[in-house]
């Protein structure tokens, strides 16, 4: 277990070193977060304001509305992820990418991005429907398992879309092939960047909660300020994690296709980060 935590920390440090050399990469997840919130508001506000789900026949309409929401959200997220990974690959090649470079790469693959967003939206809705089966534990369990398998299968899709002129289905097949070829079929690194940031976020939330309670006992206004600062800290950690994950996926893709770790990652056994049990 200690070895897994140690490897996770090394992966974080290596990705962070790349990110420190180009902090502009953090702008991609920030803009992506704003865009996804706008998409959410675009769908939720009209639905409640116009009572779109009141009355009969709302089940079918709700499914259509839900699919459109999933599709738009996935399209936005995948677009910005492609922009981030594209810019990260330029950095890993020794270049100095700009926002325009990243967005230019994503725009050049917009057709494949929209196609993959449609696939991801369909799968997402089906998995969510399975997980929402309150009266069937086995179906919920199966949904969770399939969700984990889907995450594994699609881990390398964005780097593939960015690097190769292929469609979404072929990109998904290539992602699975790369995962099998290099790290096996099991888990996204039992302990990885997500787990490392999960621990950090938990600590920040815990400290923020304690400080907020103490501040409220002094002044409600001070308590609100401390709570807001804690929330902002957690959100910024999420942004930082997203940027690191994008850099990491770009490095792993390069390792899988070229057989060599990019600059800053040579000292880490990347093949063991996604090894099969």
Q: Measured between alpha carbons, how far is 12 from 10 in angstroms, rounded to an integer?
A: 5
Structure confidence at residue 189 (pLDDT): 47
Residues 6+ apart with CB under 8 A from 203: none
What are the residue ranges spanned by the domains of the chain?
2-273
C-alpha neighbours within 13 Å on the C-beta side of residue 20: 7
Q: What is the pTM of this model?
A: 0.81
What residue has token string 């976020």? Answer: 201
At 249-260, the pLDDT tens digits run: 887 788 778 766
Cα dist from 46 to 72, 74, 202, 212, whole Å = 15, 20, 35, 35
Q: What is the mean pLDDT of residues 134-156?
A: 79
Structure confidence at residue 160 (pLDDT): 93
At 159-218, the pLDDT tens digits run: 999 999 999 999 999 988 887 765 543 344 445 677 778 888 999 999 999 999 999 998
Q: Measured between alpha carbons, how far is 224 from 148 in angstroms, rounded to an integer?
A: 37
Reference 154, options 249, 85, 240; nearest CA is 249
At 106-144, the pLDDT tens digits run: 999 999 999 999 999 999 888 888 877 766 778 778 888
Where b means 16+ CB within 10 Å and e means fewer, 133-161 reads eeeeeeeeeebeeebeebebbbbbbbbbb
Structure confidence at residue 92 (pLDDT): 81
Instruction: Kindly report the backbone phi and psi dihedral angles of residue 9, in degrees, each rounded to the nearest multiple of 5, phi listed first.
Output: -65, -40
What residue has token string 């429907």? Answer: 129
Q: Measured between alpha carbons, how far is 261 from 92 in angstroms, rounded to an integer?
A: 10
């Amino acid at each position: 277990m200690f070895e897994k935590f140690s490897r996770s920390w090394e992966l974080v440090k290596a990705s962070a070193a790349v990110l420190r050399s180009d902090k502009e990469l953090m702008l991609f997840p920030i803009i992506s977060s704003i865009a996804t919130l706008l998409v959410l508001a675009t769908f939720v506000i009209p639905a409640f304001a116009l009572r779109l789900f009141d009355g009969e026949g709302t089940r079918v309409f709700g499914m259509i509305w839900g699919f459109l929401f999933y599709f738009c959200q996935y399209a936005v997220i995948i677009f910005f992820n492609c922009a981030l990974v594209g810019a990260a690959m330029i950095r890993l090649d020794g270049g100095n990418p700009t926002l325009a470079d990243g967005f230019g790469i994503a725009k050049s693959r917009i057709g494949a991005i929209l196609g993959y967003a449609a696939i991801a939206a369909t799968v997402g809705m089906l998995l969510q429907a399975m997980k929402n089966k309150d009266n069937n534990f086995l179906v919920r369990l199966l949904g969770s398992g399939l969700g984990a398998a889907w995450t594994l299968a699609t881990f390398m899709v964005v780097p593939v879309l960015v690097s190769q002129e292929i469609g979404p289905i072929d990109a998904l097949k290539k992602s699975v092939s790369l995962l099998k070829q290099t790290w096996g079929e099991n888990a996204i690194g039992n302990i990885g960047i997500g787990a490392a940031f999960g621990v950090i976020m938990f600590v920040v939330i815990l400290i923020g909660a304690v400080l907020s309670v103490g501040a409220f006992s002094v002044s409600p206004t001070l308590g609100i300020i401390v709570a807001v600062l804690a929330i902002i800290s957690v959100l910024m950690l999420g942004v930082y994690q997203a940027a690191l994950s994008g850099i990491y996926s770009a490095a792993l893709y390069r390792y899988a296709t070229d057989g060599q770790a990019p600059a800053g990652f040579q000292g880490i056994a990347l093949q063991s980060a996604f090894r099969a049990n």
